[in-house]
Amino acid sequence: MEIRGAVQLPARREDIELRTLDGLTLVGELATPENAEPVATLVTLHPLPTHGGFMDSHILRKAAARLPALADLAVLRFNTRGTSSPRGTSEGAFDGGGLERHDVAAAMQFVRDRGLPHPWLVGWSFGTELALKHGREHDVDGLLLLSPPLHRTTAGELAAWAGDRRRLTALIPEFDDYLRPDEARERFAAVPEATLIAVEGGKHLWVGETQTRRVLSEIVAAVNPAALPLPDEWDDSRG
């Protein structure tokens, strides 16, 4: 079976709820390897909900569909406050990245409660703003930033990551709508330790199987490089 599009590989999948410190219930899903313990955990933060972003935004959905089987990763997805998806609607209202601090904290508390190993914050677009603004408060191995616009992250919030022990990797599409490689290098110069990966031909939404595979491979390269290269096909006899 060719691994592409909406293909969903075997995993243990569980509908979950997160409870925030300000009393909201957020809906989500945890996907873990079917027959092994995860080696690391992706805590995913979706794109802007006021522009169609949610836990099922395609890169995050495909990460949950493929990476538990292909790379032994746990993938946590959830709708931030006020966001809806087929899984349901999280309570509360969109706050532009402010009160979403509690949403990130609720996800990290879930990771701790479940004993999930080596968490990474994986933000896409608006999700990168949440990771940069609020990620320093939590015990994570690193940040993976997909198409960071740097709209809501202040210069001070970005510079605060300078000297941080945790790894910060940003994938910058060549043809991004908001932040392209040359400007990204200038903005991220405040964090000399950051790794910037300019993706030739890439666009903000990472549409198409070629871009999907590139993004998922870069995620795995950071988190569990022993699982590379990711296969293009799945043997159905494996489960």
User: Tens of pLDDT along 24-67?
Assistant: 999 999 999 999 999 999 999 999 999 999 999 999 999 999 99
- Predicted confidence at residue 237, as pLDDT, reads 60
Per-residue pLDDT band for 239 (boundaries 50, 70, 90) equals low
Per-residue pLDDT band for 236 (boundaries 50, 70, 90) equals confident
| Span 159-170, average pLDDT | 97
Total-model pTM: 0.97
- Predicted confidence at residue 210, as pLDDT, reads 97
Percent of the chain with pLDDT over 90: 98
Q: Is the pLDDT of residue 206 over 90?
A: yes
Give the range of the structural domain holding residue 100, as residue numbers without chain letter: 12-238
Q: Which amino acid is residue 11, in one-letter code?
A: A
Q: Is residue 7 assigned to a domain?
A: no
Q: Is residue 67 assigned to a domain?
A: yes
Structure tokens at 81: 């406050």
Q: Is residue 46 assigned to a domain?
A: yes
C-alpha–C-alpha distance, residues 137 and 160, integer Å: 11
Mean predicted lDDT score pLDDT of the chain = 97
82 half-sphere exposure, CB direction, 13 A CA radius: 14
Q: Is residue 65 assigned to a domain?
A: yes
Identify the CATH number of the domain in which residue 65 sits. Answer: 3.40.50.1820
- Predicted confidence at residue 43, as pLDDT, reads 99
Q: Which residues does 4 contact at the CB level (< 8 Å), separation at least 6? A: 209, 232
Give one DSSP letter per residue of 29-80, joined into a string. EEEE-SSS--SEEEEEE-S-GGGT--TT-HHHHHHHHHHHHHH-EEEEEEPP
Q: Is residue 3 assigned to a domain?
A: no
Q: Which amino acid is residue 192, in one-letter code?
A: P
Q: Is the pLDDT of residue 238 over 70?
A: no
Q: Is residue 209 assigned to a domain?
A: yes
Q: Is residue 26 assigned to a domain?
A: yes
Q: Is residue 2 assigned to a domain?
A: no
User: Tens of pLDDT along 71-113?
Assistant: 999 999 999 999 999 999 999 999 999 999 999 999 999 999 9
Domains of the chain: total: 1
